[in-house]
Chain A
Amino acid sequence: MTAEAAGIPAASPLVAPPVDRTARRAALEEAILPAVVALLVAAIVGDVLILSFGQSPGVVYRLLLEGTWGNAYGFGQVLYKATTLTFTGLAVAIGLRAGLFNIGAESQLAAGGFVAALVGLLLPSGMPALLTLPLYLIAAGAGGGIVGGIPGVLKAKFGAHEVITTIMLNFIVLALLNYLTAAHLKVEGSLHTAEVRAGALPRLSSYVAPFHGSAANVVLFIAVLAAIVTWWFLFRTRRGFELRAVGLQPQAAEYGGIDVGNVWWRTMVLSGALAGIGGLNFVLGYKHYYEDAFASGAGFLGIAVAIVGRNNPIGVVLAALVFATISQGGLAVNAVVPKQMVDVLQAVVIIAVAASVPEVRRMLRKIR
């Protein structure tokens, strides 16, 4: 169907409506204030934890910053972690824009990496990256897209709630991948596949020497590209407009002639594909093999990244950097306080943002 049929002027999704300056400022305040509140709350909780361990918060926070943004290796690790988190964050964000809560990014990420590794094992070793990269993108996207698409179809056809089905599928898919790896594909004495020889992607350290030892690799640029494309898709295309319309008011979208069920399952496929491509960061950029349980929580943190980034692709990239910093920072401070402190801080940030978003909105409305 066309946008005109939906009673929408054809140009409206393509041209940003005129927004006056106060409204834009209000939107910005609404987006940034919860994150500020959350970081403050996290800092207080962090202080309490550090003091309970008999250490000085100032010393620990300085260690955390020095170990992440203070040297090339640490910064490289932050970039590496932020790369995966950008993909899973985008996956969750695009789902939420359509009103769908994709809790399955964890298994979609793993499935994407797994299928990419499978394809990689079949490719001849001499193939240039220019040829193999598109194949890997398709493979990883398909792996994640299928896992994401199942809950999408179940919701569109049967009304099964995607929160529960994606959680349940996480367990099913991870168990299946564990079985396939352990029973059929593993190198003896490990839980990973043989090494992929075709078109492995270079690490950043081969261009910038100080990154030596860090896992940051060129998938980083694919992540930035993915964020830009996702933004363009959401805000500058008709399909993106339909997606957001369904997210804002499914009944109204349906009445406007949009097939809501179709948007649901397509969005879940896209969401899963984004998470799946994130698997390339580990499989193709870092280790060059699939390893069981490599996702290790990056899918769940994607939920946090999307929420803190307010489902905006640019916000997602920034939030991914924040969470990657906290996560890498745990290793930097582990000698002084247990690294699990950062797990607590991440959880506190999520809870504080989730709790302060509606609160800030209400308060700002009252002030105006």
Chain B
Amino acid sequence: MILLAFLAQALRIAIPYLFAASGGVVSERAGLIGLGLEGYMLSGAFCGALASYYSGSPWIGLLGAMAGGVAMALLYAVTAIRFRADQVVVGIAINLLAIGLTRFFLRLAFHSSSNSPRVPGFGAEQSGTGFGALATNPLTWLGVGGVGIVGWLLYRTAFGLRVRAVGEHPAAAVSVGIRVDRVRYLAAALSGLLASLGGAYLALDQHQFTAEMTAGRGFIALAATIFGRWDPARAALACLLFAAAETLQIQLQGAQLIPSQFVEMIPYALTIIALAGVVGRAVPPAALGRVSE
């Protein structure tokens, strides 16, 4: 029973990571650095809550979330691809922009600087902690299924082959007639869509939007993308690992074995170790961060 409760809680923490890390993999495999994931998530969470509030339906909320996340991702893609802006700079700015915009429109729409009113969401009214609440939330299934879909897309479809080609060797991709920019725009939009669903999960699970509610989850997802070596399945495992560590920390809180701050460090420390190549080197896509002239 304790094990089941543990798994349920870990999965619940992992769902937003799974969405955003899937988005991170798609974006980075196409050569676009996934620094804006946090911003896409936050934008998705806010637009999801907003659409759900005004329509009364969490399904419309999902559509709103996707629109918000894709809009942010396309802004990133246009500046990075069309205007050849530095991806790191714009990626960081996208996160600042999402924080500013969501807080501004939170005040405009709901006259609050901290949270929205209660919005229709998924699952039981009382956000439960067991498997029941998880199983009734369609986003749980979508998040887990999304990993498989992204894996299939990347490795089993022509589009996926193109994504990997433009991320590894854009010049070669051009020579076989692939429209590099178009593939990258599509990959960016898909990454924004996936990450926004992670944000929507947070807002619709808690039945409200709170300011800066993503709280760095986009960066944990980026860490999972890298720690999972840009592979959807391995990135998903990394998400589960990070979520399990968090769950362990929450459940052991009373025992005071390890200060929570040290558990917080785990995803980031593992990612640095992976990049430094202590245990098998993590090698990024060759054209990551570069847009061909």
Q: Answer yes or no: A49 CB below 8 A from chain B CBs.
A: yes
Residues of chain B lying within 8 A (CB to CB) of residue A168: 223, 268-269, 271-272
Known contacts A171-B265, A175-B262, A358-B84, A348 near B108 by CB under 8 Å: no
Residues of chain A lying within 8 A (CB to CB) of residue B99: 340, 343
Known contacts A171-B268, A179-B259, A354 near B219 by CB under 8 Å: no
- Bound-state Cα–Cα, A351 to B103, Å: 19
Known contacts A101-B88, A154-B272, A183 near B259 by CB under 8 Å: yes
**Does the CB pair A171–B88 fall under 8 Å?**
no
Q: Answer yes or no: B182 CB below 8 A from chain A CBs.
A: no
Residues of chain A lying within 8 A (CB to CB) of residue B85: 351, 354-355, 357-358
- Bound-state Cα–Cα, A176 to B33, Å: 27
**Does the CB pair A303–B275 fall under 8 Å?**
no
Among B79, B92, B276, which residue has its beta carbon within 8 angstroms of that of A103? B92
Among B93, B226, B259, which residue has its beta carbon within 8 angstroms of that of A304? B93
Give the interface centre of B33, B94, B96, B269 by most chain A CB atoms within 10 Å.
B96
**Does the CB pair B103–A303 fall under 8 Å?**
no
Q: Which residue of B lies closest to A175 (CB)?
A: B261
Q: Which residue of A lies closest to B79 (CB)?
A: A355
**Does the CB pair A348–B272 fall under 8 Å?**
no
**Does the CB pair B108–A165 fall under 8 Å?**
no
**Does the CB pair A340–B89 fall under 8 Å?**
no
- Bound-state Cα–Cα, A304 to B264, Å: 27
**Does the CB pair A158–B93 fall under 8 Å?**
no
Nearest CB on A from B133, distance (A): 29
Interface 0/1 of B60-85, CB less than 8 Å to A: 00000000000000010001000111
- Bound-state Cα–Cα, A340 to B75, Å: 20
Q: Answer yes or no: B292 CB below 8 A from chain A CBs.
A: no
**Does the CB pair A176–B261 fall under 8 Å?**
yes
Among A307, A344, A357, A358, which residue has its beta carbon within 8 angstroms of that of B104? A344
Residues of chain B lying within 8 A (CB to CB) of residue A175: 261-262, 264-265
**Does the CB pair A354–B108 fall under 8 Å?**
no
**Does the CB pair A160–B97 fall under 8 Å?**
no
- Bound-state Cα–Cα, A160 to B278, Å: 11
Give the interface centre of B33, B75, B83, B88 by most chain A CB atoms within 10 Å.
B83
**Does the CB pair B219–A171 fall under 8 Å?**
yes
Q: Which residue of B lies closest to A348 (CB)?
A: B97
Known contacts A101-B88, A161-B275, A347 near B93 by CB under 8 Å: yes
- Bound-state Cα–Cα, A179 to B256, Å: 13
Residues of chain B lying within 8 A (CB to CB) of residue A161: 275, 284
- Bound-state Cα–Cα, A182 to B264, Å: 15
Residues of chain A lying within 8 A (CB to CB) of residue B269: 168, 172
Residues of chain A lying within 8 A (CB to CB) of residue B108: 52-53, 338
Give the interface centre of A103, A164, A176, A182 by most chain B CB atoms within 10 Å.
A164
Residues in chain B within 8 A of chain A (CB atoms): 33, 35, 75, 79, 83-86, 88-90, 92-94, 96-97, 99-101, 103-104, 107-108, 113, 216, 219, 222-223, 226, 259, 261-262, 264-265, 268-269, 271-272, 275-277, 284
What 10 additional pairs, Cβ within 8 angstroms, besides A183-B259, A344-B101?
A: A163-B35, A172-B265, A175-B264, A303-B92, A340-B101, A340-B103, A340-B113, A347-B97, A354-B85, A354-B89
27 A-B residue contacts at CB 8 Å? A103-B88, A154-B275, A159-B277, A160-B275, A163-B35, A167-B222, A168-B223, A171-B216, A171-B264, A172-B269, A175-B265, A179-B259, A304-B93, A338-B108, A342-B100, A343-B97, A343-B104, A346-B96, A347-B93, A348-B97, A350-B92, A350-B96, A351-B79, A351-B85, A351-B97, A355-B85, A355-B90
